[in-house]
Amino acid sequence: MRICFVASEGLPFSKTGGLADVVEALPKALVAQGHEVAVVLPRYRGTKATAVVMPSLTIPMGGARLRFSGDRRWHGVERRAVFFCGRRRLF
């Protein structure tokens, strides 16, 4: 199965509460069971971009359309894909 998690925080990149722990542990467990897992997180100012894979991603939000850039990292020995969405005004 292909599974995508979208969250506001995730270890080891950002943490303010318990959600980061779940976003770290649950995808790891699912990969161990043979699933393909990706995680999408905000690229906060302290997170460095590594490789831009989406120069522009537009997401409808209310009456507006927000544009983001995106980059990808491989995380952990199980090689989970972690995608970061960046927009300077928001993060």
Query: How far apart, in whole angstroms, are the C-alpha atoms of residue 77 and residue 75?
Result: 7
Query: How far apart, in whole angstroms, are the C-alpha atoms of residue 32 and residue 27?
Result: 9
Task: Give pLDDT, residue 41.
Answer: 85
Helices (H) and strands (E) in the chain, counts: 1, 5
Read off the pLDDT band of 13 (50, 70, 90).
Answer: confident
Q: pTM of the predicted model, to two decimals?
A: 0.71
Q: Tokens for 2? A: 């292909």
Q: SS3 for 56?
A: strand
23: enclosing H helix or E strand: helix 18-32
Per the omega criterion (within 30 degrees of 0), is the bond before 42 cis?
no
Question: What does the pLDDT look like over 45-75, one tens digit per residue?
Answer: 777 656 555 666 676 778 877 777 666 666 6
